[in-house]
Structure 1
Amino acid sequence: MTIQRTSFYVMLALVTIAFIWLLIPYYAAVFWAVILAIIFFPVHMRLARLLGGRRSIAALLTVLMCIGLVIVPALIILGSLIQEGTSLYQRISSNEIDLNDYLVRIQNALPGFIDNWLNSLKLGGFAELRANISSGVVQASKSVGGSLLSFGQNTLQFFVSFGIMLYLLFFLFRDGADLGRTIRDAIPLNDDYTRQFRDKFSA
């Protein structure tokens, strides 16, 4: 009996590790599905009551609400940031934006005591600070450009993760209450600790 129990626990641990390993590429999709489910679950419950307990229709409507209120605006903002970041990267790479010229103008417009103050702070004066700022911006633009290229190459993975998030979100809304009770019963803690853990996680 002890060998059987030990074998069961070993198999359970291996299956759990394999399951987590499969989910690692999609952890962001699972994470955001859980977050959206927690935020919009009261809305789903109200819709379910208005629809006479038809949880599937209420879940579908709540998912559509999440798409309209959160996901679509977030994608629009993300697209705008990508477009502006790409444009800035291209303008800096083609020297259309001359950072040194802007910084020299700023340096010429500043009073002389600013340079003395920077020297007193061991910053080497505005000329050295200008060189550091210019170098930092160039490095940042290269980093942003690399990130944007990587994002473009991972577009397929993004849409796969997006589909997984919506699929999981639907079932979290429809069966979330039952799943919550099952998980609560499976946790080896008393009701007070389980309630505190749930509240902390939700917060």
Structure 2
Amino acid sequence: MIQYNLQQKFFLLLLALVTLAFIYILLPYSGAIFWGVVLAILFSSLHRRILRETKHKPTLAALITLLLIIVMVILPLSLITASLVKQAAAVYEMINSGQINFGAYFLSIMKALPQWMVNLLERFELTDLASLQQKLSEGAAQVSQTVARQAIAIGSKTFDFLVGLFVMLYLLFFLLRDGQSLATRIKHAFPLGSKYKQRLFNNFTTVIRATVKGNVLVAMAQGALGGLIFWFLGVEGPLLWAVVMAFLSLLPAVGAAIVWAPVAIYFLVTGAIWQGVVLIAFGVIVIGLVDNVLRPLLVGKDTKMPDYLVLLSTIGGMALFGLNGFVIGPVIAALFLACWDLFVSTEEFQLH
């Protein structure tokens, strides 16, 4: 067992304190730092290719890679966000003006339902239109207040967002340029054998690449397909619903069906049979196929995690860390499995 003298103990305490203080300083921009690291890992292979093409000029290669990331990722996201805000505002105005009337939709559904289902809903007091309209009005008022508060918050936090974006891009440049040497230093600092460190670090980078690329590609595909079928069927705000479906697609197994399934049911009970049948067929066969085929290939195969663990870690991660959790959750789960696998399979870690 290692014995430390007073000087060594004091230094270890000082090291722990300054490390915690440094982490505390970085907390306000933890999201920007996190996504800077994630993007550096995702585009590391592209950067290495550009580095070879530029005859190993690290600064030039990092700058070219950064510009490509801005063109391929940042600008498209900015354009989609601007269009989304515009369409969300239009849908919100239609709700306020009465063009979208939930009371009328409710009446249409009630008229189309069979009597036994109406009786069942009456038993649970779910057929009172006046009560429903009051609840919807109260909900609309709350939504209005929330939207107003969020609009003010977004306006007041624009500067913080721009600073965070600058921090992410600035850090990303240096991670691309100096990432290899920084990773080597971090590995060297870990008090583990080289083969264990290599295994854990490889697992970490593999899970990040698989989770982000896999989940984002699945979400983009499902969102685009869902928005396309909504546009074809004449549903209001197809871009808005496409983004909602893309976001929900980050949750394995359930995902986009949370959006398209209620719309399909509404079509069926209101007499729009062919629209409902088309939406159900498209949702199950096309949108569902994307989730059932692409996600296991892109996420589960590389992470070597079962689907149920990917689902639980994704939901848990998003509950704790917000949107960042769809990456953080599976990474923690994969590292948990890797650490326990090392503990069980390695002789020197066993207790005798």
Task: With the length of structure 1 as denominator, give the TM-score of the two structures.
Answer: 0.84
- Note the 1:81-100 alignment, pairs <5 A: 81-92=84-95, 97-100=100-103
1:106 matched to 2:109? The reply is: yes
Distance in 1, matches of 2:162 and 2:105, equals: 41
Q: Where does residue 25 of structure 2 map in the other structure? A: 22
- Does the CA contact (< 8 Å) of 1:82 and 1:148 recur in 2? no
Question: Could you tell me how far 1:100 is from its partner in structure 2?
Answer: 2.3
Give the one of 28, 37, 42 matched to 2:40: 37
Distance in 2, matches of 1:195 and 1:141, equals: 52
Give the one of 72, 80, 85 matched to 2:83: 80
Question: Could you tell me how far 1:144 is from its partner in structure 2?
Answer: 4.5
Q: Where does residue 65 of structure 2 map in the other structure? A: 62
Q: Where does residue 127 of structure 1 map in the other structure? A: 128
Question: Could you tell me how far 1:102 is from its partner in structure 2?
Answer: 3.1
Question: Could you tell me how far 1:175 is from its partner in structure 2?
Answer: 0.4
Distance in 2, matches of 1:66 and 1:117, equals: 55
- Taking a change above 3 Å as real, the CA distance of residues 123 and 174 of structure 1, as seen in their structure-2 partners, is farther
Letter in 2 for 1:124: E
Distance in 1, matches of 2:60 and 2:11, equals: 39
Deviations 1:171-197 (A, max 9, x none): 010001111111111111112321222
Question: Could you tell me how far 1:43 is from its partner in structure 2?
Answer: 0.2
Distance in 1, matches of 2:118 and 2:147, equals: 31
Give the one of 142, 145, 167 matched to 1:164: 167
Q: Where does residue 183 of structure 1 map in the other structure? A: 186
Letter in 1 for 2:9: T
Q: Where does residue 50 of structure 2 map in the other structure? A: 47
SS in 1 for 2:43: helix
Distance in 2, matches of 1:103 and 1:81, equals: 27
SS in 2 for 1:189: coil
Question: Could you tell me how far 1:146 is from its partner in structure 2?
Answer: 3.0
Deviations 1:1-58 (A, max 9, x none): 9333233222222211221111111011001111111110000000000110011111
Percent identical: 36
- Does the CA contact (< 8 Å) of 1:59 and 1:173 recur in 2? yes
- Does the CA contact (< 8 Å) of 1:44 and 1:173 recur in 2? yes
Question: Could you tell me how far 1:97 is from its partner in structure 2?
Answer: 4.2
Task: With the length of structure 2 as denominator, give the TM-score of the two structures.
Answer: 0.51
Deviations 1:94-139 (A, max 9, x none): 66644323323333343433312435xx643333794597368534
Distance in 1, matches of 2:198 and 2:57, equals: 28
Letter in 1 for 2:108: R
- Taking a change above 3 Å as real, the CA distance of residues 48 and 183 of structure 1, as seen in their structure-2 partners, is same
1:199 matched to 2:202? The reply is: yes
Deviations 1:141-186 (A, max 9, x none): 6445433432221000000000000000000100011111111111
Distance in 2, matches of 1:18 and 1:86, equals: 42
SS in 2 for 1:175: helix
Distance in 2, matches of 1:133 and 1:78, equals: 30
Which deviates more, 152-161 or 8-17?
Answer: 8-17
Distance in 2, matches of 1:194 and 1:126, equals: 62
Q: Where does residue 348 of structure 2 map in the other structure? A: none
Task: Give the gaps of 5 or more residues in structure 1.
Answer: none
- Does the CA contact (< 8 Å) of 1:89 and 1:145 recur in 2? no
Question: Could you tell me how far 1:65 is from its partner in structure 2?
Answer: 0.8
Distance in 1, matches of 2:45 and 2:67, equals: 15
Distance in 2, matches of 1:15 and 1:173, equals: 26
Which deviates more, 162-171 or 180-189?
Answer: 180-189
Q: Where does residue 6 of structure 2 map in the other structure? A: 3
Give the count of matched residue pairs.
Answer: 201
Distance in 1, matches of 2:17 and 2:134, equals: 51
Which deviates more, 70-79 or 122-131?
Answer: 122-131
